Structure formats: C-alpha cells, structure tokens
C-alpha cells in the first residue's frame, strides 16, 4: 500500500489525534501527579511537527490549486518544519540544566517567533492583502487597538498576578512577545477567512485561526503550573497548533476541485475595534468604580463621552453604507455589462464557443509558454448547398449542432472555436501524432452522425487539416498550414483529416495557378468534349456514349480530368463547367437525333456533380436545355455518384424529379463510395455502372469477381441495366457476358473520341478489338 493511499492518510490522522490526546491526558494528570520521567510527555512533539509538515507538503503538491494557495501552504509547511528544532530546543531548555525548568530560552523564543513570522508573512502575501495604502493603514490601526486592549486586559487579569519570583529564569517579555505575535496572526487569519483568497479554503483558515487562538490561550494556565516544573505550556500550545495544521491541510485538499468562493459583500466598517474599546472602558470602570471619588466620576464621564462619539460615528457610517450600497449596485450592473461585452468580444454569437480573436490569443499564449500542441481546422463539406437549399436558419441550426458535438467529444484542456462561416478550429495540447489521430477518428465519427434539423435529415461531412506547433511559429502561420492541409483533405474526397506536409505549399501554389487558368479556359475555348462508346455484348454494337470533358492547356498541354475536375469541385467552378458540358452534350445528342434518327446513339450519358444537383432550379434548367435543343429526354442519361445522392437528401430529391421528367439515371462508380444497397431502392436508378476496380479482377478467383457476379443478380431483380466500366481485354468481355452483362465500355472497345469520330461509327459494323486500336 502506498504511503499516499487513503488508508495511510487516515492512519496518519489517527496517529496525530492519538498523540494530541496523549499530550492532553499527560498534562491533565500532571496537574495532580508528579511524573517520574517527564521527558516522555515531550517526545510526541517532534513527531507532530513532522506530520504537520508532511500534510502541508502534500497540499502544496496538489496540482488543482492555484499558485498563490500552493505558495501559502508551502510557507505554512516551512513554519512547521521550523517548529521541529524549536521543539527540540524547548526540550533542551526544560531538561538540559541541573534542574527542571519552564524557561523558554532566547534560542527557543527566536525559533517560535520565526515560525509565527513565516505564517504571518504567508498570510500577508495572499491576493486578499494586495491592497491600497489606506487599507493597510486601517488594518494597522485596527490591529493596534485590539492589541492594546488585549495587552491591558491580559496585564490586569493575568500577567500582573503571576509571581515570577518563583521562576527566576522566566520573564514576562518572553511569552508576552509570543502571545502578541500570535494575536496578530489570529487577527490576520480571521480577516483573510472573511475576505477569501482564491482557492484557499475558508474552513481551513478558520481551523488554523482556532489553532493559533488555542495555542495562545494556553498561556492562561502558566500561573497554575508555576510550581510544577515537570509541566510546560508548550505541551498544550504546540499540539494545538500542529493538529490544526493537519486538519486544515486535509480540508484544503478535499476542496481542491471546488470553485473559488465568492467574496462576500464587504462590511462598511470593522466592529472589532469598537468592541475592543468597549472592553477597555469596561476594565477602566471596573478599576475606578470601587475606589469612588473624582477619579470614578472622571472615568464615567470619559466613558459616556466616548459612547456618544461612537454612536455619532456609527450613524454617519450607516448613512455612508446606504450610499455605498447604491454605488455597489450600480457597479455590479456595470460589471455585469462589462462581463457580457467581454464575452461577446471573445465568443461566437451563434454557437457560444470562442471566436477567431480568442482562439488566436490562445495560440499566441501557448506559443509563448513553449507548450507543444496541435491545431486542427475543420470545414463542413458542401455547406453552401445546405444554405441555398434549406435557408440560412437551417444552416445555422446545423452549425450549432456541430459545435455541441465538438464540445461533447473534446477534453477539458482542449479549445474549440469558430473562425467564421462553416469553419471550426481545435487546439489540442499534449498530444503526439498517434494520439491526435485517435482523437480525430472519434471526433469525426461523432460529428458525422446523421442529424435532424428543422425536419430535414442530414449527414454532415467535415474535412480536417492538422498541423503541429513549432516554437518559432506564429498564430497566423499555424492557421495557414492547417488551412492548406484541410483543402488537401477536401481534395482527397472530404470526410477525413490530413496532416500538413511542406510539399502541400508547392501543390497549393500550383493549384492556385491552375485554378486561375481554369477560370479562363471556357472563354479561351480550351475545353472540349469527347465521347466514349458504350457497346452491347457480345457483338460490340454501339448503343450509347458517355460525354467526357477534356482541357487542352496552352502551356501544359492536355491536363488530366483527375486533376482539374477535383480543382473545379473545390473552387466552385464545377457548376459552370457542368452547365457547359450539359449544353454541349445535349446539343450534340439533338444533332445526332435529327441527322441519324434511329441509328443515332440511343443514350448519351452526362456526369452531373453533387454541387450541380444541389443548385437551386437545376431541374428547371435541365428542362429548358432539353426543350431548347428539341431532344427527347429518354435519350439523355444523368450519371451521378453515390455520394451525390447521399448526405443531405437534396440530391436524391432532384434525381427523382429528373427521373419524372423522363431522363434515365445512372449510378456511376458503384461500390467505391458510401455504398448502400438501400440506395438502389430509394433512388430511381435505371443504369448501374460497375466500377473498373471490380472489373479488373473479374477473370480470376477474387473477391471482385464475386461482387461482379452478385451485382448482375441484383440489377436483374430490380429491373436495372448494368454497364461494366473499364473493360480492357477480350477475356474480361467474354467473362462479363457469361456472367450476364449486356453492356460495357472501355479501351477494349474504343477510347474516348471526338463527336465527328462517333458519327463515323454510326451505322457501321460493330466495335471489335481491332477497331478499338485504330
């Protein structure tokens, strides 16, 4: 069992209580019995000092306490440690001479005074005592009045009646100095106890004050034991003070998690000086009244005049108190307004979490402290779509939900803030890369759970950029790196987190230049369409085409769609590009329909992005394009991905409306996104396009082949047509046909080609491998 365990802690308390009980019993019996070995009664004193010192040390080590409180307990521990040699010195004073003595030598007195001075200094260093000169002056005057009264009362009722001739080595100055300093400490304890000082527990202060008071009051028994050299007031004073430290330290540790107590309303005047003056005049009357005569009359007159003056002053103080109450009320209102303003300055009005200003200050402070931490920047994917589709009130409600989920999942030491719009940021101290990944994995799982907002079910997705701090960083640089990493996460599909890599800066610069060029590509006529044939198995007869966009850059040549399509998705140009592709493809399909009639490609497939589906008025725009071109809607196939019709539900509603207009719907790249078989039931899918990653393994005994075989059964049962994408060999084509597939596309049949080349194929012989290699 550890020495710090609860069982040992209770054991130390029982030991301390047992030692105190032993000392009190030893002293009490010693009043009527002369102990043959009086040194036994002194032996527990050093052990009590050790226990008290240890309790202070444990309290000082408590991490939950603020610095000022820990410093106070460290000082009290030092005082207890000082008392240990003081106890040994007192034992030497008592037993070191030829005879037993009650004298406290100069050395012992000095040690005791030093211990009390350390405690007093610890009290005066507390935040409560960092006051104005006027406060210090009033405290000094109050202390002086109380000490003067205490000295007069003590001298009259106690010290003057002690016969010091029986103890020639004992001088009244010795314990008078100690009692005086004890009284000052007691006054200070009480003052601090009423005023409060941060997380310093008031109850602990009251226990310490009681211990000081009891220790000082033991001097009252000094006259009773003047003829009993085997006893000493130290046998009572020291246990009282040390036991109070043990109890106070334990209480303080129990209340480490409690919030700092609110400071009570300040008293308009101190009652203690007036009570002291009243006691002093009572002593004066007690001394003078029995003697009678002029002195008694003068004492009565002076006392009566003082009472009248005090009553007059109290009346004035009462009026001032009412005025101060009004002032305090107004100040409290001003402080409340100031607190609200401070909160508004540093917190986001919509979500209630910190804002950019507060977050930047927090980063700067952490960097100044040299503490390592991680910054994570979160951005909601396609948030603009939600605002445009459902309105800003729904978007705001979603942001509030995201904020609540972030706060629920983070640790107490973490910081979350909203930078603006749909961007949130986290500050995660004390985590390495692996630990950060664990936190973010749990965070994304929580945040991306479905949510019902204003009657709309949504599945929010967030992209996260992550970077670790460096001592030379600035707040702006950290946020910049996290922002770059966040866009890299979006580029990779979103719904994930990505750590910053220096190469991302180079890629970001390249993307920025390419994005600028892409904005001008349409005006410069750099974009064009090609069409990849979709054929019927096994003869390879042309049944349709898929329209694909290409970009011929004036400097870089042909830019891969895998590069510029995701770039357009990120910067929003995908909507403009998609509209242009639709116009061109519909125009081309209508031209083929007019010129070739039934021989024209039966279907022209066009890819439509999630952003296009979520654009307000997209179905109406589609209807207008078809009407203007005179194209039969049945000849147009809208290809969408799984992610486009999952999530907010907006895409799914638009797809249904397009289907009602007579367009066919193809689910593209099935199996590579958030695949859900229920989507095949909910979405009006006509064509299911099986991704190339499955087709590649169709000729082997592989899981991909099993999936390909299973999908054809599903499409038949749901009365859909399946198209196998990426067919590159005759063996794959034969295996797919054997499995039941009727349609396919890929380099085995033909590469994407201009519309003019498609016209050459219309009405000719079926596409064969030989023709695909032309």
**DSSP per-residue string spanning 405-454:** HHHHHS-TT-EEEEEETTEEEEEEET--HHHHHHHHHHHHHHHTS-EEET
Closest CA to 462 of 505, 421, 514, 523: 421
Q: Which two tokens stand for residue 732?
A: 């794959």
How far apart are alpha carbons 238 and 182 in whole angstroms? Answer: 12
Q: Are 234 and 90 in contact (CB under 8 A)?
A: yes
The pLDDT value recorded for residue 218 is 74
* Mean pLDDT along residues 361-390: 85
The residue that leads in pLDDT, 632 or 168, is: 632
Q: For residue 43, what is the DSSP state?
A: T
User: Which of 144-153, 331-340, 582-591 has the least mean pLDDT?
Assistant: 144-153
Bridge partners for 464 per DSSP: 378, 497
The pLDDT value recorded for residue 527 is 94
pLDDT of 336 higher than 60: yes
Q: What angle do CA 342, 200, 194 make, to 5 degrees?
A: 90
Does an H or E element contain 628, and which?
Answer: helix 618-629
Q: Which two tokens stand for residue 470?
A: 């460096």
How far apart are alpha carbons 516 and 603 in whole angstroms? Answer: 34
Q: Are 242 and 83 in contact (CB under 8 A)?
A: yes
- Sign, CA dihedral 254-258-260-261, equals negative
* Mean pLDDT along residues 458-481: 90
Q: Which class for 266: exposed (0-12), middle (13-18), buried (19 or more C-beta within 10 A)?
A: exposed
How far apart are alpha carbons 698 and 715 in whole angstroms? Answer: 17
The residue that leads in pLDDT, 203 or 275, is: 203
How far apart are alpha carbons 126 and 135 in whole angstroms? Answer: 14
Please state, rounded to an integer, the average pLDDT across all residues of the chain. Answer: 81
- pLDDT band of residue 335 (cuts 50, 70, 90) is confident
* Mean pLDDT along residues 97-109: 79
- pLDDT band of residue 95 (cuts 50, 70, 90) is confident
- pLDDT band of residue 182 (cuts 50, 70, 90) is low
The pLDDT value recorded for residue 530 is 95
How far apart are alpha carbons 477 and 471 in whole angstroms? Answer: 12
Q: Are 466 and 500 in contact (CB under 8 A)?
A: yes
The pLDDT value recorded for residue 423 is 92
Q: Which residues fall within 8 angstroms of residue 376, CB to CB, at 6 or more apart?
A: 425, 426, 428, 436, 440, 464, 465, 466, 482, 497
pLDDT digits (tens, 9 = 90+) for 661-720: 999 999 887 766 545 566 777 788 899 998 888 898 888 888 888 988 888 888 888 888
Give the largest CA-CA distance in the chain: 147
Q: Which class for 661: exposed (0-12), middle (13-18), buried (19 or more C-beta within 10 A)?
A: middle
- pLDDT band of residue 270 (cuts 50, 70, 90) is low
Q: Which residue carries 């983070």 as its tokens? A: 410
What Cα–Cα distance (Å) separates residue 396 from each residue in 353, 403, 415, 432? 14, 11, 21, 33
The pLDDT value recorded for residue 136 is 60
Secondary structure class of 376 (helix, strand, coil): strand
* Mean pLDDT along residues 197-216: 75
Q: Are 41 and 20 in contact (CB under 8 A)?
A: no
How far apart are alpha carbons 398 and 402 in whole angstroms? Answer: 6
How far apart are alpha carbons 283 and 157 in whole angstroms? Answer: 10
- pLDDT band of residue 636 (cuts 50, 70, 90) is very high
**Cis? peptide before 108, omega within 30° of 0:** no
User: Which of 122-126, 329-333, 521-525, 573-577 has the least mean pLDDT?
Assistant: 122-126
The pLDDT value recorded for residue 139 is 65
Among 202-206, 251-255, 275-279, name the most confident range. 251-255
The pLDDT value recorded for residue 209 is 76
The residue that leads in pLDDT, 214 or 252, is: 252
What Cα–Cα distance (Å) separates residue 71 from each residue in 80, 697, 725, 746? 14, 71, 74, 77
pLDDT of 529 higher than 50: yes
How far apart are alpha carbons 487 and 611 in whole angstroms? Answer: 17
The pLDDT value recorded for residue 623 is 94
The residue that leads in pLDDT, 535 or 98, is: 535
- pLDDT band of residue 170 (cuts 50, 70, 90) is very low
The pLDDT value recorded for residue 272 is 63
Residue 722 has phi, psi (to 5 degrees) of -110, 140
How far apart are alpha carbons 200 and 192 in whole angstroms? Answer: 9
pLDDT of 425 higher than 70: yes
Q: What are the counts of helices (DSSP H) followed by strands (DSSP E) for the chain?
A: 28, 17
Q: Which two tokens stand for residue 47?
A: 């052990």
Secondary structure class of 587 (helix, strand, coil): helix
* CA 637 distance to own-chain centroid: 50
Percentage above 90 pLDDT, the chain: 25
The span from the first CA to the last CA of the chain, in angstroms, equals 85
> In the Cβ-directed half-sphere of 295, how many Cα atoms lie within 13 Å?
9
């Amino acid at each position: 069992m550890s020495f710090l365990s609860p069982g040992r802690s209770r054991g130390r308390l029982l030991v301390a209580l047992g030692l105190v009980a032993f000392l009190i019993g030893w002293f009490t019996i010693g009043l009527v019995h002369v102990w043959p070995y009086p040194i036994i009664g002194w032996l527990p004193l050093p052990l009590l000092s050790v226990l008290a010192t240890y309790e202070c040390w444990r309290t000082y080590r408590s991490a939950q306490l603020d610095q000022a409180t820990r410093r106070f307990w460290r000082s009290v521990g030092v005082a207890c440690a000082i008392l240990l040699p003081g106890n040994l010195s007192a034992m030497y004073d008592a037993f070191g001479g030829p005879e037993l003595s009650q004298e406290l030598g100069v050395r012992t007195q000095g040690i005791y005074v030093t211990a009390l001075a350390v405690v007093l200094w610890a009290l005066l260093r507390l935040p409560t005592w960092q006051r104005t000169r006027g406060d210090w002056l009033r405290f000094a005057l109050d202390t002086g009045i109380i000490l003067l009264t205490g000295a007069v009362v003590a001298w009259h009722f106690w010290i003057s009646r002690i016969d010091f001739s029986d103890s020639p080595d004992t001088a009244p100055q010795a314990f008078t100095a100690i009692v005086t300093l004890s009284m000052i400490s007691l006054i200070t304890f009480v003052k601090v106890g009423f005023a409060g000082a941060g997380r310093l527990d008031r109850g602990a202060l009251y226990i310490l004050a009681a211990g000081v008071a009891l220790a000082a009051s033991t001097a009252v028994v000094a006259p009773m034991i003047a003829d009993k050299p085997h006893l000493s007031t130290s046998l009572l004073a020291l246990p009282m003070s040390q036991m109070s430290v043990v109890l106070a330290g334990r209480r303080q540790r129990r209340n480490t998690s409690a919030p700092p107590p609110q400071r009570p309303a300040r008293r308009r005047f101190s009652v203690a000086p007036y009570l002291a003056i009243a006691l002093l005049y009572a002593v004066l009357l007690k001394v003078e009244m029995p003697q009678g005569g002029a002195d008694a009359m003068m004492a009565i007159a002076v006392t009566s005049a003082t009472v009248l003056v005090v009553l007059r002053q109290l009346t004035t103080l009462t009026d001032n108190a009412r005025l101060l109450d009004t002032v305090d009320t107004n100040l409290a209102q001003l402080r409340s307004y100031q607190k609200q303003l401070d909160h508004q300055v540093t917190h986001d009005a919509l979500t209630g979490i910190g804002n950019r200003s507060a977050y930047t200050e927090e980063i700067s402070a952490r960097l100044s402290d040299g503490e390592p931490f991680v910054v994570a920047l979160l951005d909601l994917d396609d948030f603009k779509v939600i605002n445009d589709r459902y309105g800003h009130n729904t978007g705001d409600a979603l942001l509030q939900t995201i904020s609540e989920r972030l706060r629920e999942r983070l640790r107490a030491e973490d910081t979350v803030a909203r930078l603006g719009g749909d961007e949130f940021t986290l500050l995660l101290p004390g985590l390495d890369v692996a630990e950060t990944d664990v936190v973010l994995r749990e965070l994304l799982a929580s945040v991306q759970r479905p949510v019902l907002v204003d009657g709309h079910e949504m599945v929010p997705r967030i992209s996260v950029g992550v970077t670790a701090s460096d001592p030379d960083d600035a707040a702006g640089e950290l946020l910049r790196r996290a922002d770059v990493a966040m866009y890299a996460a979006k580029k990779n599909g979103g719904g994930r987190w990505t750590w910053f890599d220096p190469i991302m800066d180079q890629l970001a610069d390249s993307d920025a230049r390419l994005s600028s060029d892409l904005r001008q590509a349409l005006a410069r006529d750099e974009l064009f369409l090609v069409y990849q044939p979709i054929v019927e198995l096994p003869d390879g007869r042309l049944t349709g085409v898929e329209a694909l966009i290409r970009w011929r850059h004036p400097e870089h040549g042909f830019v891969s769609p895998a590069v510029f399509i995701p770039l357009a998705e990120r910067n929003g140009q995908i909507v403009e590009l998609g509209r242009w592709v639709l116009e061109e493809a519909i125009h081309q399909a209508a031209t083929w329909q007019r010129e070739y009639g039934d021989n024209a490609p039966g279907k022209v497939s066009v890819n439509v992005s999630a952003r296009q589906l979520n654009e307000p008025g997209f179905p109406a725009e589609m209807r207008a394009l078809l009407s203007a071109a005179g194209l039969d809607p049945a000849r147009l196939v809208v290809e969408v991905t799984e992610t486009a019709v999952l999530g907010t539900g907006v895409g799914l509603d638009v797809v249904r409306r397009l289907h009602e207009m007579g367009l066919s719907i193809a689910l593209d790249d099935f199996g590579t996104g958030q695949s859900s078989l229920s989507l095949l039931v909910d979405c009006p899918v006509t064509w299911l396009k099986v991704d190339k990653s499955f087709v590649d393994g169709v000729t082997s005994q592989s899981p991909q082949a099993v999936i390909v075989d299973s999908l054809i059964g599903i499409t038949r049962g749901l009365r859909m047509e399946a198209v196998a994408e990426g067919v590159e060999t005759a063996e794959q084509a034969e295996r797919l046909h054997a499995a039941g597939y009727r349609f396919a596309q890929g380099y085995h049949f033909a590469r994407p080609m201009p519309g003019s080349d498609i016209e050459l194929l219309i009405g000719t012989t079926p596409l064969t491998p030989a023709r695909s290699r032309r």
